[in-house]
C-alpha cells in the first residue's frame, strides 16, 4: 500500500488525481487527534483509496494534517459518498469540512454543546475517573484509607497511581 502525505491545500487536487489514476473507491476516511507535540497541532486525516480493476487491485493512503480551527475541503465532488465519512469524522473527532454550510447537528454522538468530541484527547473518559484503577491499592489494603501510614502494617502506603489520560486533579 502506497502512503502519501499532502498539505490541506493540496487535498482535493491530489485526491482527484488519484481518482484519475484508477482509485475509484474511497474506502474510508478518518481523523485522529494529533496533539502529539508535533507542529501544527490539529487533526491527522487519512483517506484509504481502493482500485478495484481486475488485475490492478491496490490500495493507497493519503494523509494530511489539518490545524485546529481550519477546514478541510470536502471530497464529495469526487466521491458523493464521502459526505457520510466526513460527517462521521466531524462527529467523532471534530473535523471541520467544507464551507461550514452543512448541518452540524450530530448524527452519531449526542453530546453537550461546547464539549470536546468523543475521540479528542481533550476529553476525559468518565470511566477512567470513576473506576478504581488496578494496582492503586496494596494487597490487603482497603479503599477509603488515607495516604498516611497503615496502622495495621506499620508501613507507609505507596503513592496512589493515576489512570493514564486522567489529570491528577480529576482523580479521586
Question: Is residue 35 pLDDT above 90, yes or no?
Answer: no
Q: Is the dihedral of CA 36, 85, 46, 99 positive or negative?
A: negative
Place of cell 498539505: 7
pTM, rounded to two decimals: 0.68
- How would residue 145 be classed by pLDDT, with cut points 50, 70 and 90? very low
> Across all residues in the chain, what is the average pLDDT?
78
Pairing state of beta strands 149-150 and 96-97?
A: unpaired
C-alpha span between 35 and 156 (Å, rounded)? 38
Stretch among 27-31, 100-104, 158-162 having the lowest mean pLDDT? 100-104
Question: Is residue 3 pLDDT above 80, yes or no?
Answer: yes
Question: Is residue 148 pLDDT above 70, yes or no?
Answer: no
Q: Which DSSP letter does residue 86 get?
A: H
What would the pLDDT profile of 114-132 be if each residue is shown by its tens digit? 666 766 766 666 666 666 6
Task: State residue 25's pLDDT score.
Answer: 95
What would the pLDDT profile of 62-87 be if each residue is shown by its tens digit? 999 998 888 899 999 999 999 889 98
Question: Is residue 98 pLDDT above 60, yes or no?
Answer: yes
- How would residue 12 be classed by pLDDT, with cut points 50, 70 and 90? very high
Question: Is residue 149 pLDDT above 60, yes or no?
Answer: no
With CA atoms as reference, report the closest residue to 29 among 77, 63, 66, 58: 63
Amino acid at each position: 500500500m502506497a502512503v502519501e502525505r499532502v498539505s490541506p491545500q493540496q487535498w482535493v487536487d491530489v485526491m482527484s488525481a488519484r481518482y484519475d489514476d484508477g482509485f475509484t473507491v474511497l474506502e474510508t476516511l478518518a481523523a485522529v487527534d494529533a496533539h502529539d507535540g508535533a507542529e501544527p497541532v490539529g487533526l491527522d486525516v487519512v483517506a484509504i483509496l481502493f482500485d478495484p480493476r481486475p488485475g490492478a487491485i491496490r490500495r493507497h493512503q493519503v494523509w494530511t494534517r489539518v490545524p485546529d480551527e481550519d477546514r478541510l475541503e470536502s471530497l464529495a465532488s469526487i466521491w458523493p459518498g464521502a459526505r457520510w465519512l466526513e460527517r462521521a469524522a466531524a462527529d467523532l473527532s471534530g473535523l471541520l469540512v467544507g464551507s461550514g454550510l452543512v448541518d452540524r447537528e450530530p448524527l452519531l454522538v449526542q453530546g453537550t454543546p461546547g464539549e470536546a468530541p468523543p475521540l479528542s484527547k481533550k476529553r476525559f473518559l468518565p470511566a477512567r475517573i470513576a473506576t478504581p484503577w488496578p494496582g492503586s491499592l496494596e494487597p490487603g489494603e482497603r479503599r477509603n484509607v488515607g495516604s498516611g501510614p497503615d496502622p495495621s502494617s506499620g508501613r507507609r502506603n505507596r503513592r496512589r497511581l493515576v489512570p493514564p489520560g486522567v489529570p491528577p486533579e480529576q482523580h479521586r
